[in-house]
């Protein structure tokens, strides 16, 4: 196997490869760009004009997606997977990966779309680097563009595998992309309705990419991901990479949700009235007091069918401590 196929091993060891460019027996080019960043380019005659960014490790302890990208890279380096589209593999927060931590000082996935410029430290610098790597990768005209940022969640979930679809003024969500997600094993998609500061929000809003944050199960240490079934996603990614993806336009079985409200933590007085082990997509009854904060701020459930995702009262002041979502339809898709 080519040494550049061992990007994860290099990243965890904090080493640069001796060779920055290598070719497989089929003429596929693997090019090391920087720590945790590798571009794969098919032979020009076989290029199907697609650009696929696969990122993981934005949170360093979410290991199942990291291991998935490692398997794909091994397959390419051995010549078992034969790319017909360009791929950029990114491990987002290498130092957090090495330490087995979600992040060191700052949550990298809250540092995009200008936020890294308002902060200092290695993770703010890394977010800027990731933006530049993505901007450069998606700079070629006339190609389709797709970004999957792969995560696992802090807590369990009543819907284990789901996606978040960013929003941009004047741009509609794609039925084709939702069907692709359904075929890849996603059970639900949250259609967002405001600008955000995540990595996929950056690529979607700034680079005109179809971009999705994928949540694949619960976070576990390296080597302990037997309970995280990413087989359907892995198969679909190999098909996208090789240009053999079967047509799929059905949304049957895919649940769609819209954001009703975000719960923002304003102060250290913030209280969230949920069990510590509450799962994502837990339903909340109308009239339920969800959270309280300073100045008599209260979040009371008013929406029919409301559910909570990403509840986290420990976030820093000013950040989102949870999202209230409600079921929606496919009426606005194109």
Active site residues: 215
Nearest to 68 by CA among 225, 220, 240: 225
Instruction: Provide the 3-class DSSP secondary structure of residue 189.
Output: strand
Count the neighbouring beta carbons within 10 Å of the beta carbon of residue 12. Answer: 16
Gap between the Cα atoms of 196 and 318, Å rounded: 14
CB 258 within 8 A of CB 191: yes
What is the CA angle 287-291-295, rounded to 5?
110
Gap between the Cα atoms of 67 and 192, Å rounded: 28
Instruction: Provide the 3-class DSSP secondary structure of residue 7.
Output: helix
Nearest to 68 by CA among 228, 239, 242: 228
Tokens standing for residue 111: 């540092």
DSSP 278: P
Cα separation values, 59 from 22, 90, 101, 199, 281, Å: 29, 12, 7, 12, 21
Strands (E), 125-173: 144-153, 162-165
DSSP bridge partners of 30: 22, 40
Gap between the Cα atoms of 283 and 25, Å rounded: 53
Interstrand relation of 86-91 and 50-56 (parallel, antiparallel or unpaired) = parallel
């Amino acid at each position: 196997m080519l040494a550049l196929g061992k990007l994860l091993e290099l990243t965890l060891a904090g080493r640069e490869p001796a060779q920055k460019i290598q070719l497989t027996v089929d003429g596929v080019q693997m090019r090391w760009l920087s720590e945790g960043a590798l571009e794969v380019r098919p032979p020009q005659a076989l290029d199907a004009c697609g650009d696929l960014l696969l990122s993981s490790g934005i949170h360093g302890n979410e290991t199942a997606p990291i291991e998935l990208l490692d398997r794909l890279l091994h397959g390419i380096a051995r010549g078992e997977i034969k790319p017909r589209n360009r791929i950029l593999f990114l491990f987002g927060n290498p130092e957090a990966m090495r330490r087995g931590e979600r992040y060191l000082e700052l949550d990298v996935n809250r540092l995009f779309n200008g936020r890294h410029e308002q902060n200092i430290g290695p993770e703010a610098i890394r977010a800027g680097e990731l933006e530049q790597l993505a901007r450069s990768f998606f700079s070629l005209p006339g190609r389709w563009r797709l970004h999957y940022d792969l995560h696992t969640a802090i807590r369990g979930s009543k819907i284990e595998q789901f996606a978040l679809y960013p929003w941009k003024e004047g741009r509609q969500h794609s039925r084709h992309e939702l069907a692709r997600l359904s075929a890849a094993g996603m059970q639900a998609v949250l259609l967002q309705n405001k600008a955000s500061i995540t990595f996929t929000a950056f690529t979607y809003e700034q680079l005109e990419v179809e971009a999705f944050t994928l949540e694949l199960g619960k976070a576990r240490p390296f080597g302990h991901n037997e309970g995280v079934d990413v087989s359907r996603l892995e198969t679909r990614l190999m098909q996208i990479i090789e240009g053999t993806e079967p047509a799929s336009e059905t949304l049957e079985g895919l649940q769609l949700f819209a954001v009703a409200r975000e719960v923002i933590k304003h102060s250290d007085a913030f209280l969230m009235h949920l069990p510590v082990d509450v799962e994502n997509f837990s339903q909340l009854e109308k009239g339920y007091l969800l959270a309280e904060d300073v100045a008599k701020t209260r979040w009371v459930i008013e929406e029919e069918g409301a559910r909570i995702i990403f509840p986290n009262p420990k976030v820093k002041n000013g950040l989102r401590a949870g999202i209230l979502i409600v079921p929606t339809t496919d009426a606005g898709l194109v």
